[in-house]
Amino acid sequence: MRRPTAAAFALLCSATALFGPTFTRAADGPSAGASPVSDADVRLFRSTFGLSTEASVLSAARDEDTAPYLYGVPLTANERSELDARVNRERSYGTFVGSMSKQAGYAGTYVDQARGGMWVVQFTGDGGPVNSAMPLTLPSGVPAITRAVDFSAADLDATRAKVEADYVDLAEELGVSYLAVDERVNRVVIGLSIFNAGAAAALVERYGASVQVVSQPIDVINACTRTSCGTPSMKGGLVITSKKSPVDPSIGCTSGFGAKKSSGTPANTWYFLTAGHCLYYGGGAWSHTGIGAFGTPVIYQYCDRCQADTGVLKMLEWHTPTNLVFAVDSTDIRSVIGKRSNTDQGLGIAVCRVGGASNNVRCGTIVGRELSVTLHDDRENRDVIYNHTWKMNTDSITGNSGGPIINSSRPGTYAFGTLVGGGAASTYYSTIDYIRASVGYEPCVTASTNPCL
């Protein structure tokens, strides 16, 4: 298989060092080891969401806002209200797309956050059916425009299916590392781990004008450092560790969501979701500093072309279920009150990842959905092909695997999925729908006393 560039290798090697720095979260008060928010992080977030990057505005935001930051960066009160309104509108996205997808010539919808959270509704032909149905189905208060494009959603899905069927061979022959329908460019995007103009031309000739070929170096699967923290109760977003044997080094990942069987949880039997490759490399018990051992593996999925990279830990009997996520620090505990379906998770939707090893929350937007993507497993020095994977435009580091992917609201937090890998500017995750389809478990999301019932 074609390999990443030398620069990509440097990222992979440095990101998978077995003994990384220790990040500590205090039981009370702000997290002493929380990662600082850099000016670069702030400017990237603001550019993504169409907010001012002028120095005076940044200064005002730092004066007004206090940690823990709801969106991972300091914002003015007006900016927070604006982003809250966008997130609330996006709760209707899946219902809207489901209705519009029935219209002839429909070509997909994405959210343009840089233009104030504008919904861009696309069509082919004269757009008559789409333009007629849109006023009847668009949620109240949503800013929206229509856009004429070359290819319908059905056209792009058909092309994607052809490339998907050939993905393994294309990875070997041409170094294909990424495949997705991207409504923003109205194309099926094919990534090459090492870009080559000849290979790009061959792919366009083979699959047609609806294909766009880009450079896509292979990112790393985020697992396997040793780290710990000191919060006393089990929640999502915490550092968890395991060993194959007493003499082996610790494997570190991040807890995802308290979970139950999709068909119903037996009385007093509770579970926790994390990444499947964490359980693949871990031992028979998983621990969290402050409470010790809390769970043992029940089932996991980690393989080429699996629906999801996901694993389930059965909580030991003295632990109780939770629908809570430890976000920025111990003052920022969020209740998960619902789940987002695949249909709800469109391009441009605002989303955040919680990292145990990075000890922070980073928010951005969905930039890839239903991907086929190649990630690198440095522990076994092999590439793994992921199907049905989502991508967001934030960084991720080793040890964040399994961590919660959520929206930014507090309260009103929804589960999107769990983190599986990434790099300096990318985070990949498996969605709740595919986790449930793969292993038969899903997050506990009600706000009742016992959220897993």
Which two structure tokens, joined as six digits, stand for 243?
Answer: 């060993």
Q: pLDDT of 161-179, one tens digit each?
A: 999 999 999 998 999 999 9
pTM of the complete model: 0.84
Q: pLDDT of 120-143, one tens digit each?
A: 999 999 989 999 999 999 999 999
- Answer whether residue 98 shows pLDDT above 90: yes
Q: What is the pLDDT of residue 290?
A: 65
Sheet hosting strand 441-443, strand order edge to edge? 251-254, 239-242, 286-288, 292-301, 310-315, 271-274, 258-261, 441-443
- Answer whether residue 186 shows pLDDT above 80: yes
> Using CA of residue 157, residue 159, residue 162, residue 167, what is the dihedral sign?
negative
In the chain, the percentage of residues whose pLDDT exceeds 70 is 85
pLDDT (mean) for 265-292: 83
Q: What is the pLDDT of residue 20?
A: 26
- Answer whether residue 1 shows pLDDT above 60: no
In order of their start, the domains of the chain are 38-73+75-146 (no CATH), 153-217 (3.30.300.50), 221-443 (2.40.10.10)
Tell me how far apart the alpha carbons of residues 230 and 179 are, in angstroms, rounded to a whole number: 40
Using pLDDT thresholds of 50, 70 and 90, give the confidence band for residue 67: confident
DSSP string for 381-447: TEEEEEEEEEEESS---TT-TT-EEE-S-SSSEEEEEEEEEE-SS-EEEEEHHHHHHHHSEEE----
